[in-house]
Amino acid sequence: MNFKVLPSLLFELTISCWLFYIHTSLFKLGLSIGAYCKYLTQWNLVLSHLYFCFSSIIGLKNFFSSKKIEKQKPNTALTTLFGTVLITSTVVTFIFWGVYHYDRELIFPESLEQIIGKVINHSQHTLPLVALVVEWFIFPRQIQIVPKKKHFALSIVLIEISYLAVLLYYGKLEGKPVYPFIGEMNNLQFVLMVLGIVIFSMISVFLIIKFLKLKDPTKADKAINKQETTNKKKKLKKNN
């Protein structure tokens, strides 16, 4: 057993269980499948839950593995999913709280908060980003390989295009914007908002990859192994 991964495993399992509780609470409050499809908050909640569930499974595998954590094969899919959810969580958190403090009636009316409650509100719009940042800085061993730029960027673009299509579809279906604040925008402002999110996402992809390269523990492991190999060769030459 690798007890080094136990703190991160417990953290991931706790977040996974809490997000499952949030899902069930929302359904009990009457949130429909349709609402899960048309709100970016719910998309992000599902993606965050998938990440922490996947991370918990990898953590359990590492915990019961006979290999040392440093020697275990890193998981590219886990890191790509981590980066994707980190970007979507950042977009959700900053847009939601930005509009909320500007005019809460445009995104989360007080009447709705009385039904849902502050705990569920923060669990949807704040917790995913905070949990990801905490894991990134406190449990970096779980995020132990840098994803390829094209895979990372492609996953973000696919999510953004898919959600934009859903947003336009439900807007046309219901005859009104999914979010009231979008109704306050003209066409140019809406296009600029979408372009701004895309540009922010692409910049984030490169920044996250750059930062992961700096924190990538496998690089340190390789450097140590290379140095050990060099030292062994030098000793052999001296002995000969």
pLDDT digits (tens, 9 = 90+) for 45-86: 999 999 999 988 888 887 887 666 555 566 777 878 888 888
Q: What is the pLDDT of residue 234?
A: 64
Contact 69, 141 (CB under 8 A): yes
User: What pTM value is reported for the model?
Assistant: 0.78
Cα separation of 50 and 22, whole Å? Answer: 14
What's the mean pLDDT in 162-186? 86
Answer with the residue of higher pLDDT: 234 or 118.
Answer: 118
Contact 38, 162 (CB under 8 A): no
Does residue 218 carry a pLDDT above 50?
no
User: How high is the mean pLDDT of the chain?
Assistant: 80
Q: What is the pLDDT of residue 224?
A: 43
- How many Cβ atoms are within 10 Å of 166's Cβ, its own excluded? 16
Q: What is the pLDDT of residue 127?
A: 94
Q: Which of 21-30, 92-101, 126-135, 146-155 has the lowest mean pLDDT?
A: 146-155
Q: In sequence order, which residues have a C-beta less than 8 Å from that of residue 138 and are 6 or more positions away?
A: 7, 8, 11
Percent of the chain surpassing pLDDT 90: 20
Contact 5, 59 (CB under 8 A): yes
Enumerate the domain spans of the chain.
3-226
Q: What is the pLDDT of residue 129?
A: 92
Q: What is the pLDDT of residue 69?
A: 57
Does residue 126 carry a pLDDT above 90?
yes
Cα separation of 122 and 232, whole Å? Answer: 55
